[in-house]
Amino acid sequence: MAMDPTELARLRWRCRRGLLENDLILERFMEGRGPRISDDEVTGLDRLLQLSDNELWDLLAGRTEPDDAALRPLVAALRAV
């Protein structure tokens, strides 16, 4: 099911980060998924966006792994962009 354009715009805005590397990865991910983003991915992004920039970068750079196994597919997708 396609995401509402307003909700998608809000999510894109929330993906903007202070650390350029995070910002670029999240932007590319959102460009690739667009309105086809799944509910599970939105839920996962909500959780990841609560992390500090440095914690998020450590996950995306592969320095750490998510404690929650449910986040692993999303982190892998983010790393692949």
CA distance to 14, 23, 61, 65, 66, per residue, from 34 (Å): 14, 16, 23, 25, 24
- What backbone phi and psi angles, to 5 degrees, belong to 18? -75, -30
Q: Can you list the alpha helix ranges (DSSP code H) found in 1-81?
A: 5-14, 20-33, 39-48, 53-60, 72-80
Give the SS3 label for residue 43. Answer: helix
**For residue 17, what pLDDT is reported?**
92
Q: pTM higher than 0.75 for the full model?
A: yes
17-54 tens-digit pLDDT: 999 999 999 999 999 998 899 999 999 999 999 999 99
